[in-house]
A and B are shown apart, each in its own frame.
Chain A
Amino acid sequence: MRAIDYALRQAWASLWRGGRSTAFAIIAIALAALVLGSLLLLTWNVDQLLTQWTSATEFSVFLRDDATSEQRGTIEAAVDQSGVAEGREYVSKAEALTRFRRQFTDLAALTTDLGDNPFPASLEVRVRPGAEGNGRADALVKQVATLPGVADVRYDREWLARMASGLNALRGAGFALAFLMALAAAVTVAAVVRLGLYTRREEIDIMTLVGSPLAFIRGPFIAEGLLQGGVGAVVALTILWLGFKAVGVWWGADLAAILDGASLHFLPIHEAILLVAGGMFVGAAGGFAASRHAT
């Protein structure tokens, strides 16, 4: 405990003594943590949206114009008995036309010139959460498509898969970049801590000669890196939070419209803590590397 207390007191004093060089190390850590934090913020929110959108998946079964009520009954029975559907809604030809006119007001005039209603009746099926992932929804779609009275089945979830794979690629590239920046930050911290080590050379020599335990000799340098890393990560987290708030103020309404009402959230507390812990670890690693030159 005395060694930890001594290390923290010395490290704290050294942080203030360090001036510009300490600020430089903190900025390096903050930049690395900012890249990692932005990536975590982006991927976490996209993950949340994907989960939300995936759970809200639905497919449409378009009926032939000549489909009989018995055929429609067979289709509805197949959907109900599959256990895949959370709910279903029948949209008649007239309702489909009304919807079109409501959603596309500019094109509504076109439909008045048409003699017959071109829109097919359909069954809109909401997929139960989980059924999409285990393939049961796919199986139901294939089964329904073969039933008599069915003109077409639309189950467009390819974009979701593309988005998920794009997100994975982004995550991979982002982590690689964050790793490189963390490495550079650790090297910077090591260089800064080593500078401090040279200014305290006399003290360290005396400590070595009087038989001071290694924990007392090396501890302050590791603690100094740890503090630099922690401060850098907190700075990054603060910048990230301010940026997130600014995006909300300036583009919040546009984003809400794009995201169909879904909202974005800041990093959850456990990820924020992990980010600070990561910064401290990188700093401590740099401090440890420098401390090896002390003895």
Chain B
Amino acid sequence: MIETHHLSKLYSRGLYALQDLSLSVEKGEFVFLTGASGAGKSTFLRLVLMQETPSEGEIFVNGHNLTSLRRSEVQEYRRGIGFIFQDFKLIPTRTVFENVSFVLEVLGVPSTQQRRRTFQVLKWVGLQHRMNAYPRDLSGGEQQRIAIARALVNDPALVLADEPTGNLDPDLSLEIMNLLREINAGGTTVVIATHDRELIRLVGRRTVTLDQGRIVEVA
């Protein structure tokens, strides 16, 4: 699903966020990226999402060579990826239902299908009863579940999560991890960047540890 060859990202100050990174994530795999702050976890996710371009090396995602992807092809490529952020990034002026269905709306999906699919994913994350609420009325755990529903609503082949439990207490963190494991059980590849060692231990999946932009351990 994801394959990088000698991938490097150099910032203008001469600092490497990633250096000579060669990594392979198989289709349907569940992988943790871990390491201290500044290790390069988020940079790796941003490169996969094409929010940034590599300075050196190659990166292949789902058969796309991202280094040679044209600007006009980027949006189409992103439709195959779901993303989850630490700060949820929900739109405060839209209801729970609208936050999720919005993704389908801006992808041009007909409105009947939008409603059906949105209801399905909200039911799956257990928040169909809160669909008319606004994000400010929800707890952190509920907000993250909405963010997960939004990431899944267009059926992506790959889900990226950047510190998805960073703002949650341990119980809620585990609950979110269980949801992500369920997603993975359905065949979706999941890559999670986290520095929560305890959570990684509890979930027990392949873990790639980064330090100063380099892979230092794969367990």
Q: Which residues of A contact B (CB under 8 A)?
A: 2-3, 6, 202-203, 205-214, 216-217
Contacts and interface: CB of A to CB of B under 8 A. Distances in A.
A210 B154 contact: yes
Given A206-B91, A206-B103, A208-B75, 10 more contacts: A2-B108, A2-B110, A206-B150, A209-B83, A210-B83, A211-B74, A211-B75, A211-B81, A211-B107, A213-B106
A216 B106 contact: yes
B107 A210 contact: yes
A207 B106 contact: yes
A206 B108 contact: no
A190 B66 CA distance: 33
Interface residues of B, number: 23
Contact of B77 (A211, A214, A217): A211
A212 B91 contact: no
A88 to B, nearest CB: 74
B76 A202 contact: no
B78 A209 contact: yes
Contact of A211 (B51, B79, B89, B150): B79
Interface in B77-104: 77-81, 83, 89, 91-92, 102-103
A210 B106 contact: yes
B49 interface: yes
A202 B91 contact: yes
Interface in B52-89: 74-81, 83, 89
B75 A214 contact: yes
Main secondary structure of the interface of A (DSSP, over half): helix
Contact of A3 (B49, B91, B92, B108): B108
B26 interface: no
A1 B80 CA distance: 23
Of the listed residues A6, A210, A212, the one surrounded by the most CB atoms of chain B closer than 10 A to its CB is A210
Nearest to A212: B106
B75 A213 contact: yes
A13 to B, nearest CB: 10
B108 A211 contact: no
Contacts of A214: 75
B105 interface: yes
B91 A210 contact: no
B48 to A, nearest CB: 11
A213 B169 CA distance: 37
Contacts of A202: 89, 91-92
Contacts of B154: 210
6 contacts: A3-B108, A203-B91, A206-B103, A209-B78, A210-B78, A213-B108
A214 B71 CA distance: 11
Nearest to A295: B75
Interface string B133-159: 000000000000000001000100000
Given A210-B154, A211-B76, A6 B106 contact: yes
Given A210-B154, A211-B76, A213-B75, A6 B91 contact: no
Residue among B51, B74, B75, B77 with most chain A CB within 10 A: B75
B2 to A, nearest CB: 17
Contacts of B51: 209
A210 B103 contact: yes
Contact of B108 (A205, A208, A216, A217): A216
Contact of A212 (B75, B80, B92): B75
A6 B105 CA distance: 8
Nearest to B107: A212
Contact of A210 (B79, B92, B110): B79
B113 to A, nearest CB: 12
A167 B78 CA distance: 58
Contact of A206 (B75, B79, B102): B102
Nearest to A203: B91
Name the 4 nearest CB pairs between A and B, nearest first. A211-B78, A211-B79, A212-B106, A216-B106
Nearest to B51: A209
The CB with the most chain B CB atoms within 10 A, among A205, A208, A209, A214, is that of: A209
A211 B157 CA distance: 14
Contacts of B75: 208, 211-214
A228 B175 CA distance: 48
Nearest to A215: B108
Contacts of A207: 106
